[in-house]
Structure 1
């Protein structure tokens, strides 16, 4: 059957391979043809070849009832009369975790010459300049099958041995791009008995590359660990077609077939004038990889797609995709996924493939019976899951969890703290140890003990957190509350170049990241001048109730040590999260405009006061976000004044905002702040 280029474009778009551009060309035979520039996601390695795209087209056309068939490119047969046996050739893989499979074939009595016109035209149509017949065939097969092949001058291979191993220490190689590179001992190489032939198959040593006088060649086709290829390529700034393909993952079952295809084309092109001879393919596959088996549930397909698809159609799609059924029952299938589909690893990937071939445009709307998956993160609303998420967040920031004793002795810390909060400590009537006879009234005590323990063992930079209960007596009632304590400890001698205040703001930033993850935004803060243990401390409030206390521990408690501590009211935090309503607001399709405003105000006016005024004023304008990002006091500013710089981000859901509208809003804001704060506006900037 024949289909036109418009139909092909539509079909490719349907199956997730949109066409970026179409170019009409004419070959030297005056035959009309088209070049399609197909866009694909990096995970679709199976479609990064002409045969791979043809295979996908075949699947969807066959499923839609078209009379089509898929013809694999012809290859050289093993019983070819042009074969000769060379049992002396050996391939040894010394790094079988880095090199999964290596196949090779030698071809003798070839002649390096110009390629035939049809091959030159095919390569030119995809932007590749012809080099010679052998190189052009290798490039053709690479783009046709998506399997890179490297070619060596066989007469340069010592003792007919191919060895895949790590590079020798500090070895230097001049590669075929004429750049000399020095390699490390963990870099993967292809060697002969004496010297390196190739850098992991992605670029050859210039010594082993073929040239105009080459008579005998060795073709290698490999499956390497893609992670290793990516590291080597990026490390030494090697950008080749081979690197691009191999770093995305290779199909180990393709190495032999690619060699057979290349040998077929070399024989077809070169054998017309002279007799060439090929060896048997040498194939080394030490640890074969077996195709994955995935469980696919019919009910899950309906829940995800939103429409019931018959089991017959599902099996038909899987069969066309070369996904075979290992076992089945009335509820599910266990299927074997071919190794070339490196992107299909889970049940959801299989469902995506079914929907892709079935055609997403056939799904009119989501069925009312479809169960919507629950929202992630805090929307589960259970304390256990909230705790798990927040703790993972702290661990990712480099903090470690500790568990300390709830019983301790009365000391200077507890006396100051309890007098400040007007708490009465709870004494144990019959303690086991007379040194531990009081219930702790703060998590700070145990955290300080842990920090001192680490300091005594030369661990001077400590980041800790603990969740636990504190106990105290108030108005003749025994009370217990749960807090989350977070601390950063360091010695003054080994302070990082940054100022001490940076640690305070770092810890405050951690708290704000927890709030952001929790969906808490409209909080306020106030300076706490009288805290008995913390200096430069602040209280963070939500709905006028203290949620967090944060500051630096006073120097007279731990000499030569600086400790920053924050304590969160855990139960209050959980209650806020649980009461949060989920509101979805779509992104605006119109651009955001920014204006900066610098204010000169009395130094007694705090950052928080300006912030609260702006939050209230934000409701009256098309302001998406307000950010106070700078303040200044000193030279050229009166002693009694301080300068704040505020950024305003304007956005509309209905239209692109004009300068006239934004400037009008800015004038209102300037007037409002001037009146409320008796501020002087220094400048207004557009960005």
Structure 2
């Protein structure tokens, strides 16, 4: 749908830039798909001036050419060779100066150059109307009647208009915006200013000499029908302003009467049709359906076979027009028409849609009727069209307004809740803002209470029928972009989505860990209270006691899965199976005062060597990094990102890490202290991980954000640092992030050394730094500056020695 900016300004004051208007329309749901600059006259007469022919004589070398001198406001007269038969001295003419580009009514544009024509210099061109796109005549040059000074730009005389046209991708539900006034209504709410409706105060009935009887037989298909007659009109070409309006949106002018109906249609969204009153037999209009198979010739001179469900506008004897779709070949306005019956009706969208589809006819009128028009607009549109026809075609209004409206279409009443408004929008808007937006959209607010209010929705808003629709209206005017996104965004859906099955997620995770070479164990939730007391890291008063215990060895619910797992390790080790990798989904229990808590955990156990004895694999004991790799693979599987890793706070580990996200602890893992493992009698090193399963489940199914692969290459630089043993790798990471987080993408430790050659209490890290700029290729100067800053920071903050 095309919307002209100049036309739009007839209904609302707009001083904003084109970009701002485009963005506002898009934000309110009227997406601007393109913006085009439209000129009434191609080139807008640039380079053309008004001149005066001072002398005119025969060309010495050509009988049909004249040699003239023309005053175009410069110090010297311009010699111009002219071939027009009507050129003469003393005339005011349009002159195209050297360098000007002309856009003729037909043919390709051409540029005026300094030329010699039959041996005589010609510095310009005296123009005919077709040569500059002002008309079709080429009988001679244009002769102007003006007192404007010579050299005045021709545009000051002809005043060609320029316009900006928005191409709007109108969605099917927004029939209310299928006009310039409809678009202005949205801008009224967005910019908080009034719209201007056409002035109808001059409308009056001149006499009642040509009344027409109107009968609506099918009120379901035509709930409202309005009309009047205008007599003694003169059908001719439309005035310049009307043609310019229609041309701006790509409509070809036809004649002044038909052009008015099209103008009102695109102005107000109300389709109209003008009938030749003298073709209405019996001075009677009947709105009805005809028999199945009836024949009717439409305006395109095609004979069509009608359905018994096609609504027709008929006279006393025959059909004249397919209602809301297409006119008939005989009843339309033509040059000989002197009297007009003007129709402005509200037709059922279902009837028009079915008829238009059945006959494969898509017109501007059917486009709007199919989506729904405003039943309250018919009379106002009729009055305005009548005033415009009188203005451009003369005549007088010769009948009262016929308005058949047996059952008035009422507003839709909807009860609103502030709670639901804030819930669906995701933000609590001020009550005054909510009411202001709705009233600006002609949705009247009434009966306010602390909980909500009631609204009355006008019938032209067919798409607003329930509370959620009204909330959408509030949000699209308030602005989707003005709603702040929470850290964890969510949405409410109209469709039902399957809730992730916790058991299936656990099964998938179990299969994943099994594929990594681990075995699942299932242990008893009852445990020996002696384990906890011997280890010393758990409080006895937090045990959940069993009231009807079978033995003291199974007297409490476990506070930790550690001892259950250690029992399984001991059982296997005692049977000559020392290389073990276990996992368990289990619950732990705790008493805090009078309250009891229960939580499910995923726990991992590793001990022994990485693999069984083999001729092709070197025996290496399991270490902390083996467990860490599995934990991180689980977190990756659950799309956990932006993790914080710190040395573990748990007392059961000799060393380890705690991993959290936004302050929520997800995993603790490390090497268990000997004091803990010896409680069960396990004398091997045991590495243990405890993952918060309920928190992990909340992460499941979260879609990780995709980031496009950079077009610019990575650069690697290596550093060797000698550090104190107590320095953590996380400290190196923190410094690298603070110094150059935009360029340093990854840091990797590819060698660690401890020995006498670097001193006691020291360690050496060999690090690789991957640098990348996502917007350009890094040069040596930037790379060297970044690495120098990193080395300086390591030396100052970590007392590092950079090994050259």
Cross-structure match for 2:374: 251
5 Å matches for 1:314-353?
Answer: 314-353=434-473
Task: Please state how far the C-alpha of 1:48 moved relative to its aligned partner.
Answer: 0.7
The equivalences for 1:63-462 within 5 A come to: 68-75=193-200, 77-78=202-203, 80=204, 83-86=206-209, 88-271=211-394, 275-366=395-486, 376=496, 378-379=498-499
Could you tell me which residue of structure 1 aligns to residue 35 of structure 2?
22
Find out whether 1:60 has 2:190 as its counterpart: yes
CA distance 1:228–1:372, shift in 2 (3 Å): closer
Deviations 1:233-253 (A, max 9, x none): 111111211111110112111
Cα deviations by residue, 1:143-173 (Å, 9 ceiling, x for unpaired)? 1111110111111112221111111232101
Rounded to whole Å, the distance in 1 between the matches of 2:170 and 2:35 is: 15
Q: Distance between the aligned counterparts of 1:75 and 1:268, measured in 2?
A: 13
1:38 and 2:163 correspond: no
- Higher RCO structure, 1 or 2 (CA under 8 Å, sep 6+): 1
Does the Cα contact within 8 Å between 2:38 and 2:165 map onto a contact in 1? yes
CA drift at 1:4: 2.1
In structure 2, how many angstroms separate the alpha carbons of the residues matched to 1:230 and 1:288? 22
Q: What secondary structure does 1:252 align onto?
A: coil
Give the paired residue count.
Answer: 383
Distance across 1 between alignment mates of 2:33 and 2:293: 45
Q: Unaligned stretches of 5+ in structure 1? A: 63-67, 382-578, 591-687
Aligned to 1:25, what secondary structure does the other structure show?
strand
Note if contact 2:276-2:337 (Cα within 8 Å) is conserved in structure 1. Answer: yes
Aligned to 1:620: none
1:587: how far off? 11
Residues 168/588 of structure 1: CA separation in 2 closer, same or farther (3 Å cut):
farther
1:367 and 1:249 mapped to 2: Cα distance?
41
| Cα distance change on mapping 1:16 and 1:159 into 2, 3 Å | same
Checking the alignment, whether the CA contact within 8 Å between 1:76 and 1:263 is kept in structure 2 is: no
Whether the 8 Å contact between 2:292 and 2:308 is mirrored in structure 1 is yes
**Could you tell me how far 1:46 is from its partner in structure 2?**
0.7
- 1:72-104 Cα distance to aligned partner (Å, 9 max, x none): 1223645x2x52125842211111111111111
Deviation digits for residues 389-415 of structure 1, max 9, x if unmatched? xxxxxxxxxxxxxxxxxxxxxxxxxxx
Q: 1:366 to 1:159 in 2, by over 3 A?
A: farther
TM-score scaled by length of structure 2? 0.45
Question: How far apart are 1:13 and its partner, in Å?
Answer: 1.6
C-alpha distance in 1 between matches for 2:361 and 2:491 = 48
- Distance in 2, Cα, partners of 1:264 & 1:353: 35
1:350-396 Cα distance to aligned partner (Å, 9 max, x none) = 11111111112111114889995697165499xxxxxxxxxxxxxxx
Residue 18 (structure 2) aligns with: 5
Structure 1 CA distance, aligned partners of 2:228 and 2:360?
Answer: 29
Cα gap change, 1:371/1:52 in structure 2, threshold over 3 Å: closer, same or farther?
closer
Find the aligned partners of 2:385 and 2:292 in 1 and give their Cα distance.
35
2: CA distance between counterparts of 1:18 and 1:295? 30
Structural RMSD (CA): 2.7
**In 1, are the aligned partners of 2:274 and 2:340 still within 8 Å (CA)?**
yes
Q: Any conservation in 2 of the 1:306–1:367 contact (CA below 8 Å)?
A: no
Contact 2:271 2:368 in 1 (8 A): yes
How far is the alpha carbon of 1:332 from its aligned partner?
A: 1.2
Please give the alpha-carbon distance, in whole angstroms, between the structure 1 residues aligned to 2:487 and 2:17: 35
- Cα deviation for residue 328 of structure 1 reads 2.4
Q: Secondary structure of 1:247's partner?
A: helix
Q: Aligned runs of 1:425-574 on 2, under 5 Å?
A: none
Contact 1:293 1:336 (8 Å CA) reproduced: yes
Whether the 8 Å CA contact 2:236–2:393 is kept in 1: the answer is no
**1:73–1:172 CA distance, 2 compared to 1 (3 A):** same
Measure, in 2, the Cα distance between the counterparts of 1:107 and 1:334: 44
Name the SS for the 1:114 alignment partner: coil
Cα offsets for 1:281-334 (capped at 9, x unmatched): 110011111010011110001101111111111111111111112322110111
CA distance in 1, matches of 2:359, 2:414: 38
| Cα gap change, 1:23 to 1:310, in 2 (>3 Å) | same
CA pair 367-278 structure 1, distance change in 2 beyond 3 A:
farther
User: Computing the radius of gyration over CA atoms, which structure comes out larger, 1 or 2?
Assistant: 2
Tell me the TM-score normalised to structure 1 length.
0.53
Q: How far off its partner does 1:30 sit?
A: 3.1
Matches within 5 A, 1:628-639: none
Contact 2:257 2:393 in 1 (8 A): no
Structure 2's unaligned 5+ residue stretches are 1-12, 41-157, 502-696, 709-804
Q: Secondary structure at the match of 1:261?
A: helix
C-alpha offsets along residues 650-680 of structure 1, whole Å, 9 cap, x if unaligned?
xxxxxxxxxxxxxxxxxxxxxxxxxxxxxxx
Change (3 A) 1:374 1:188: closer
Distance 1:85 1:76 in 2: 19
Name the CA distance, whole Å, in 2 between partners of 1:342 and 1:226: 11
Relative distance call for 1:366 and 1:587 in structure 2 (3 A) is closer
Asked if the contact 2:309–2:351 (Cα under 8 Å) also holds between the matched residues in 1, the reply is no
Contact 2:270 2:344 survives alignment (8 Å) = yes
Kept in 2: contact 1:302–1:370 (CA 8 A):
no
**Contact residue 233 and residue 390 of structure 2 kept, 8 A:** no
Deviation, 1:280, is 2.0
Moved more, 369-378 or 27-36: 369-378
CA distance in 2, matches of 1:287, 1:14: 37
